[in-house]
A and B are shown apart, each in its own frame.
Chain A
Amino acid sequence: MEYLIQAFSLLFGSDPELRQIIGVTLQMSLLSTSISSLLGIPLGTLIGSSDFRGKKWVQRVNNTLMGLPPVVAGLIVLLILSRSGPLGKLKLLYTVTSMVVAQVLLITPIITGLTANLVSLRAPQIRETTAGLGISPFKRMLYTAYDCRVQFISTILAGFGRAIAEVGAVQIVGGNVQYKTRVMTTAIMQQTNMGHFEFAIALGIVLLLISFIINALVQKLSDGQEEPA
């Protein structure tokens, strides 16, 4: 109980490190989710709405990447960005950029897969209808994307939820550097190890609050879709 009271006083206080950690976390998660959405939604729409040679293989590879362990993603990015790696000259390791790259690697397959799944539910009926009207495959994709827009937002929010709660990859490539690359999840781990439970609880409350807001948004969007016109 004492930890909880201290956690709330930290939250409503003006601890600069706490605010900085929350800021870096949001910056990293929003950026990685945006990039992943820009890549994953068009790709998922293309996979879900089209039939092409090798589609099943593309789906299998994507499904495998959806389950990519975060530490493996972190390791891959670490090897690429480390001084002896192919992109070592960019000196991006232990920066927010490297954390965003690792998260994009993790989240893009998730957004692609979820998008492809929801598009493929409507695709046969849409394909049949649009082909009968002489509508081009490109326009068919645009119309399909328009009709799935609410579900796309749910997909993006699911990606954001994954990004903000991720710890393994960002720990490896970000290094949990104070006032630089420390995010909520890595900070909770560290503060718990150090016995600073009030700080860890305060961050946990913020994480839960963000998760609640995301779920409420998804729920509201889903309800809005069901309302009569």
Chain B
Amino acid sequence: MIQLTNVSKQYAGRTILEIPELTFESGKRYALIGVNGSGKTTLLRLMAGTLQADCGQIRGVPLADMGYMPQSPYAFSFSVRKNVEIALQKSTQPAEKALAALAAVGLEKLAEARGDKLSGGETQRMAFARMIACPRALLLLDEPTSSMDIKGTDQIENQLLRYAAENGSTVILSTHSPAQALRLAQEVVYLDQGKVVEQGSTEQVIKHPRMESTRLFLQHWRL
């Protein structure tokens, strides 16, 4: 279980995240939804440890058994296969596992291509292959399909559901799309201006929002 208590983060004198209390249960899939600048990425980065909170505590993040896919993942100039292999340093047979992960995201034909020559969508798929190449207790995914077409998005969503079910992983992903949250998450956290406005089961929050700002955000989407 991941627990955040009185966590806040400021940037340039502005509070960008302020969370008195938030809990993520193990083995569940969560979606963080909200507009740009609502604090989704900051929350993920704080949990991943790539950003330090100004105050508060974050407990229960399995840092040694976690995968974090940032919004703009970096692709090194070595091969796509090697780009995935670097995520498998403690595993046996990294090459085989990397190829299997690449096949799962539909990149097997580009395994020997240079990583830095991939398109934006392909880079995201490769970064997702890094995430699913080995079992992890926690996946933190920051808009994992934002540069992908519908086919690619569908493929990644199916792989994510399969992976989470097989490994019993906790998944916390951020997305702009409530439709994607409906497809992937069991629970939704709606953020607005760095604050958790509403949290609950995906069906309840997206189809029957209690708060006015959640309703305003969702009315732009024809669900």
Contact = CB atoms under 8 A, between A and B. Distances in A.
Interface of A: 122, 125-135, 139, 143, 146-147, 228-229
Contact of B76 (A128, A132, A143): A143
A132 B114 CA distance: 21
A132 B113 contact: no
- Is the contact region of chain A dominated by helix, strand, or loop, or is it mixed? helix
A133 B72 contact: no
Contacts of B111: none
B34 interface: no
B140 A135 contact: no
B172 to A, nearest CB: 13
A132 to B, nearest CB: 3
A130 B130 CA distance: 11
Contacts of B76: 143, 146-147
A143 B86 contact: yes
A126 B66 CA distance: 17
A74 to B, nearest CB: 40
Q: Which of A128, A129, A132, A229 has the most CB of B within 10 A?
A: A132
Given A129-B74, A134-B66, 4 more contacts: A128-B72, A132-B67, A133-B68, A134-B89
28 contacts: A122-B74, A125-B70, A125-B73, A128-B45, A128-B70, A129-B74, A129-B127, A131-B48, A131-B49, A131-B68, A132-B48, A132-B67, A132-B68, A132-B70, A132-B140, A133-B67, A133-B68, A133-B86, A133-B130, A134-B66, A135-B86, A139-B86, A143-B76, A146-B77, A147-B76, A147-B77, A228-B117, A229-B114
B70 A129 contact: yes
Interface residues of B, number: 27
Contacts of B63: 134
Interface of B: 45, 48-50, 63-64, 66-70, 72-74, 76-78, 86-87, 89, 113-114, 116-117, 127, 130, 140
Given A125-B72, A133-B67, A133-B130, A146 B50 contact: no
Contacts of A143: 76, 86
A128 B74 contact: yes
Q: Which 7 A-B pairs have the closest CB atoms?
A: A132-B68, A229-B114, A129-B74, A229-B117, A128-B70, A133-B87, A125-B74
A158 B193 CA distance: 48
B125 to A, nearest CB: 15
Contacts of B48: 131-132
A133 B68 CA distance: 7
Q: Which of A129, A143, A228 has the most CB of B within 10 A?
A: A129
